[in-house]
Chain A
Amino acid sequence: MSTEAHAERLTGTEWDGGALPYRVGHRKLGMWLFIVSDAMTFSAMLIAYSYARASSESWPTPFPFNPSILFSTTMTLCLLASSFTMVMAVKASAHNHLKSARRWIGATMVGGLAFLILHLIEWKHLIDDGLRPFRLADEMARHWPSAPPLFGASFFSITGLHMFHVLTGVLYLGWVALRISKTRHEDVEISGLYWHFVDLVWMFVFPLIYLMSVDMTGGGGGGSH
């Protein structure tokens, strides 16, 4: 197809035979629809967590500012930085600088892997403390005796699902980086969309799960919300 004909097909109005009313390819539209549905999955989980928390008499707030919150802030910075490098990768790919695009994607994967490793270290600490999906760690149970045992369930399921998304994203980006000379620019952009979405979800998980669970009283009481 000649460039002009292609351009006409892209820019004509819907009634004039414009074949792409959204002016994005079907794969990109598909990724957007997936992102919308995935956003609903995550919001359903976060709302379920908020529901359990708001309906309970007390809820554990076990994360001390230093080290837990600082640790998870570092994870957030890793993810934000990797989102920025992904933007640069898409930009490089748009200008057909494949080598530099591949390097930027590599940097993004490093950010994602750093996030994963930090997150797993944190999980290991919590599991070593005795936190289980349906059982509080002994220390938490002592400080918040009337709290339901759901803290572990909400924490592990929400951060676990997010971690799974990060892992999938790293693998996906690796695949795109390997095949970057064979794929079209839009495919790189689509992988970028997915990666930014993973970042976006963390922008809600981080405040709701971590910052709202900051230990304010040195383990004394706990807010009802």
Chain B
Amino acid sequence: MALESIKGLMKKTDFILMGLCVLLAAAFLVLAGSNVARAGDFLTIDSLFFTVVCLLLALTFIAIPAMTLRERGMLHNPFAIGEGIAPARAAEDVHFEGSTKLFFYVLLALLVLTLVEVLLAYFEVPLTLMLIILIGLSLIKAALIMAYFMHLRFERMSLVLTLVPIMVVCICLFFIFFPDSFRSHDLRSNPVAPAAQGGAAH
């Protein structure tokens, strides 16, 4: 009897928490949408940053209800590979997934991506373009290493959600310094401009 009532209470708290998560996710989506709608020039660092942070937070909040729905079989993962590994049911003491072939393919992909990066340097691609491509390729490589070599692909989703979003958000927050570095670059390369403006005002 007591156990039943506790379970009922759990269901209620579950429901309230899920509702709160959905509400917050919707709020962040609305915030991102209103930012896009109101911003005249959308492609500025500030605007992009704000939108991406809002979308990421919305995704983080919606992930928990979505996973609960999936656990209860009401939602199917469209990105599921193969027959669905369903790690929660694998109960052996030592579980190890992934064949040598899979890891070999991952290594091959990493080698090919590295080769592409080195070729960029060989063909002397302009630095700004090269930087963008290099960062993109490096992010793919990091994702491959984390997913397969570090085995995150086969861990529980709760571990992935605890570790990855916080890391990505914190690292993205470092980018807040860059407008300042561009400003000091501009100050260094045209130090005359402010003085000339002052002269014109006189």
Q: Which of these, B95, B104, B127, contacts A212 with CB under 8 Å? A: B127
- A91-B127 in contact (CB<8A): no
B-facing residues in A30-71 (Cβ within 8 Å): 32-33, 36, 39-40, 43-44, 47, 50-52, 54-57, 65, 69
Residues in A whose Cβ lies below 8 Å from that of B95? 94
A118 at interface by CB-CB < 8 Å: no
- Most chain A CB within a 10 A radius of its CB, from B146, B150, B159, B174: B150
Q: Using a Cβ–Cβ cut-off of 8 Å, how many residues does chain A contribute to the interface with B?
A: 63
The majority secondary structure among interface residues of chain A is helix
Residues in B whose Cβ lies below 8 Å from that of A200? 141-142, 145-146, 150
A-facing residues in B156-190 (Cβ within 8 Å): 156, 158-159, 162-163, 166-167, 170-171, 174-175, 177-178, 180-182, 184-185, 188-189
CB of A76, distance to nearest CB on chain B (Å): 6
- B127-A223 in contact (CB<8A): yes
Given the known inter-chain contacts A22-B155, A23-B155, A224-B185, please indicate yes or no for A10 contacting B91, CB distance below 8 A.
yes
Q: Which of these, A11, A56, A65, A90, contacts B88 with CB under 8 Å? A: A11
Q: Which of these, A39, A84, A189, A197, contacts B171 with CB under 8 Å? A: A39
Nearest B-chain residue to A76, judged by Cβ:
B114
- B122-A65 in contact (CB<8A): yes
Nearest B-chain residue to A51, judged by Cβ:
B181
CB of A107, distance to nearest CB on chain B (Å): 14
Residues in B whose Cβ lies below 8 Å from that of A87? 103, 148-149
A159 at interface by CB-CB < 8 Å: no
Given the known inter-chain contacts A57-B188, A207-B134, A214-B124, please indicate yes or no for A91 contacting B100, CB distance below 8 A.
yes
CB of A78, distance to nearest CB on chain B (Å): 12
A88 at interface by CB-CB < 8 Å: yes
B130 at interface by CB-CB < 8 Å: yes
Nearest B-chain residue to A40, judged by Cβ:
B170
- A22-B185 in contact (CB<8A): no
Residues in A whose Cβ lies below 8 Å from that of B120? 211
A26 at interface by CB-CB < 8 Å: no
Q: Which of these, B93, B149, B159, B185, contacts A57 with CB under 8 Å? A: B185
Residues in A whose Cβ lies below 8 Å from that of B189? 57, 224
- B185-A56 in contact (CB<8A): yes
CB of B28, distance to nearest CB on chain A (Å): 23
Residues in A whose Cβ lies below 8 Å from that of B141? 200, 203
C-alpha gap A47/B142 in the complex (Å)? 17
What residues of chain B have their CB less than 8 Å away from a CB belonging to chain A?
10, 87-89, 91-96, 98, 100, 103-104, 107, 110-111, 114, 117-118, 120-122, 124, 126-128, 130-131, 134-135, 137-138, 141-142, 145-146, 148-151, 155-156, 158-159, 162-163, 166-167, 170-171, 174-175, 177-178, 180-182, 184-185, 188-189
What residues of chain A have their CB less than 8 Å away from a CB belonging to chain B?
3, 6-7, 10-11, 15, 21-24, 29, 32-33, 36, 39-40, 43-44, 47, 50-52, 54-57, 65, 69, 73, 76-77, 80-81, 83-84, 86-88, 90-91, 94-95, 185, 189, 192-193, 196-197, 199-200, 203-204, 206-208, 210-212, 214, 216, 223-225
